[in-house]
Amino acid sequence: MHVAAIPVTIVGDFGLARWQADGQTAEETRVIGTFGYLAPEYTKTGQITEKADVYAFGVLLLELLTGQRAIDLSRKVGQQYLPDWVTFKP
């Protein structure tokens, strides 16, 4: 008997946003997540919203479209994060 295994792709590290019972967003006292995918407002305020997930997904799409990594320390300062590199104007 032959059973064909069908691979299933799973995208991880999304779903950081957690909603509280009262509708308030979760707030952390320390930044948790994968650098390069963290939304700037989350790193500044510690407030986790669903917008942080949208930002992370956007960085993933930029990686797919550009072939670049989310963080590349070999790029010039100010361009090391992919969104900064994409929007850089010389």
CATH topology for the 1-90 domain: Transferase(Phosphotransferase); domain 1 (1.10.510)
Give domain limits for the chain.
Answer: 1-90
Which of 88, 14, 6 minimizes the C-alpha distance to 48? 14
pLDDT tens by residue, 32-63: 788 899 998 888 888 888 888 899 999 999 99
**pLDDT of 14-28, one tens digit each?**
555 554 445 555 555
pTM for the full model? 0.66
Cα gap 47→88, rounded to integer Å: 27
